[in-house]
Amino acid sequence: MQDNFSANFANLSHLDSQGQAQMVDVSQKTPTLRQAVAAAQVRMLPTTLAAIQAGNTPKGDVLGTARIAGIMAAKQTANLIPMCHPLPLQKVEVQIMADEQLPGYQIQATVKTKAETGVEMEALTAVSVAALTLYDMAKALEKSMQIESIRLISKTGGKSGDYFPSEA
């Protein structure tokens, strides 16, 4: 039984031969330029969107605070996600754009490094925390806001190659 168990987990890099979680050893990998872009959206009532756009919110600068929170979160990813490697991030950019059709905000994070492993989790963490912060800053206006569609948009670099999903 143990042999089947070991065989089933042999190709899963985050599990050892007993099926226990482990941090992947990247010490033999060559650092390469890597970039990831992630996105999320926060859906809200048109009146909430208008209040945020007008700067008429009880907690102050909603978008600026959410942007900074996203940047800070990307830098803390290894402290939040158990098997993530701490990485030297060279770029973290968080953009928050109003979308009246949603209505709400589209959030996008771009993270770049030159390292042995990728920055997908850092980009995903950035948009997640930016969305949560936007919610927190505006919840006095509306508690029914919805954080939606957190996803990886693209990644470049590394052994697995580039990833650009089709827009279907």
**Which positions are catalytic?**
136
CB-based contacts of 99, cutoff 8 Å, min separation 6: 41, 105, 106
Sheet architecture: strand order including 32-43: 89-99, 104-115, 32-43, 146-156
Whose structure tokens read 């099926």?
A: 19
At residue 54, the 3 state secondary structure works out as helix
